[in-house]
Amino acid sequence: MKKVLFVLLIMPIFTIGQTNKALDFVSPIHDGLIAVKKNNAWGFINSKGVLVIDFRDDLVLTETQQGKYPVFKNNRCLISSKKKGIVYFGYIDKNGKTVIKPQFLNAFNFNNNSAMALKLIEEKVGKNEILGKNIVYHRYFEVVIDSNGMVKEYLNPKGVNVILDKNHVGIPPEITSKQISDSIYAVLNQNKKWTIALVN
């Protein structure tokens, strides 16, 4: 019994010590967590130095004055996943659990519990009877989402047609709208003029 108790008491100390060795990068604290890099993977430690999100290779890096590293904002961190050569973006929570599955063609970090993203919509327009396949078009929209991934507002209601192929979407399309304040967004229209949108 004493041996078991001793092992249980020393195990957390041993784990913490192992976590903090041979790190390639340590970020400033954001939203209570610190990004740490080891080899080509990133994880997160808390303010006590405990590894709370294990090292992984799907975290999206954010450009900051201190360098590029993943960050938590509003309890969400961007992740990415590649399917058929196309990158999709989603979010994890502070437990490392995927709370918004990768589905957006581009996405920003959260700010005041909202984030801008490119939502992809598939429109079925008919069927090729000879091949037995549906004829579909894809279009993406600049949207404002909440922390559960639900769309709060479509910033460009007409959307943009896109060929969903890695040769045409090799890099994520640009999000052209800008968040000005908690509820004000500037949306760039087709005539390269700005429209102000209010989002609650």
Q: What counts of helices (H) and strands (E) characterise the chain?
A: 1, 16
| Residue at 86 is within a domain | no
Which amino acid is present at 57?
D
Q: Do both 62 and 113 map to the same domain?
A: no
Domain contains 83: no
Q: What residues pair up with 123 in beta bridges, in sequence order? A: 137
Q: Which of 38, 72, 106 is the last residue of a domain?
A: 72
Task: Please indicate, yes or no, whether residues 42 and 108 belong to a single structural domain of this protein.
Answer: no
User: Residue 108 and residue 63: Cα distance in Å, rounded?
Assistant: 11
Residue 140 lies inside a defined structural domain of this protein: yes
In a domain, 85, yes or no: no
Residues 18 and 52 in one domain: yes
Q: Any residues with CB less than 8 A from the CB of 14 and at least 6 apart, and which?
A: none
Residues 64, 111: one domain?
A: no
Task: Tell me the DSSP string of 128-184.
Answer: ETTTTEEEEEEEEEEEEE-TTS-EEEESSTT-EEE--STTTSSSPPPP--EE-SSSE
Q: Is 64 part of a structural domain of the chain?
A: yes
pTM: 0.84
User: 52 is in which domain, residue-wise?
Assistant: 1-72
114: in domain:
yes
Q: What is the domain count for the chain? A: 2
**Same domain membership, residue 136 and residue 39:** no
CB neighbours of 178 closer than 8 A, spacing ≥ 6? 185, 186
Whether 122 and 184 map to the same domain: the answer is yes
- The Cα 42–Cα 50 span in angstroms is 14
Going residue by residue through the chain, which has 200 residues, state the pLDDT in tens, using 9 for 90 and above: 444 434 444 444 444 444 567 899 999 999 999 999 999 999 999 999 999 999 999 999 999 999 999 999 999 999 999 999 999 999 999 999 999 999 999 999 999 999 999 999 988 767 776 766 767 789 999 999 999 999 999 999 899 999 888 888 889 999 999 999 989 999 998 888 999 999 98
Q: Are residues 98 and 197 in the same domain?
A: yes
